[in-house]
Chains A and B, each alone.
Chain A
Amino acid sequence: MDANLIVFIVMAVVAIGSALGMLLNRNAIYSALFLILNFATVAVFYIILGAPFIAMTQVTVYAGAIMVLFLFVIMLLGAEELTGITTKFDWQRPAAVVLALLMLAELVVVIFFRDTVFGELMQLTDFGTPENIGRVLFNDYLLPFEITAILLLAAMVGAIVIARRVRRKPGQ
Chain B
Amino acid sequence: MVPIEYYVGLSAVLFIIGAMGVLTRRNAIIIFMSIELMLNSANLLFVAFARMYESLGGQIFVFFVMTVAAAEVAVGLALIVAVFRTKDTINIDEASTLKG
Contact = CB atoms under 8 A, between A and B. Distances in A.
A8 B86 CA distance: 46
Contacts of B75: 155, 158-159, 162
Interface string B26-62: 0101101110110010011001101100101101101
Q: By DSSP majority rule, is chain B's interface helix, strand, loop, or mixed? A: helix
A109 interface: no
A162 B6 contact: no
Interface centre among A19, A57, A61, A127 (most CB of B within 10 A): A19
Contacts of B84: 77
A74 B29 contact: yes
Given A28-B29, A31-B30, A136-B60, A22 B37 contact: yes
B84 to A, nearest CB: 5
A110 interface: no
Contacts of B57: 136, 140
A156 B74 contact: yes
A140 B70 CA distance: 23
Place the interface of chain A in its size category. Answer: 35 or more
B36 to A, nearest CB: 7
A50 B19 CA distance: 28
Given A66-B36, A141-B60, A159-B74, A54 B30 contact: no
A4 B51 CA distance: 14
B74 A19 contact: no
Contact of A35 (B33, B64, B68): B33
A159 B73 CA distance: 9
Give the top 6 A-B pairs by smallest Cβ distance, nearest first.
Answer: A155-B71, A163-B78, A159-B78, A162-B78, A159-B74, A19-B17
Interface of B: 1-2, 6-7, 10, 13-14, 17-18, 20-21, 25, 27, 29-30, 32-34, 36-37, 40, 43-44, 47-48, 50-51, 54, 56-57, 59-60, 62-64, 66-75, 77-82, 84-85, 90
Given A5-B2, A31-B33, 16 more contacts: A35-B36, A49-B1, A49-B48, A51-B50, A57-B63, A57-B66, A61-B66, A66-B69, A66-B70, A73-B29, A77-B84, A79-B90, A133-B59, A159-B77, A163-B81, A163-B82
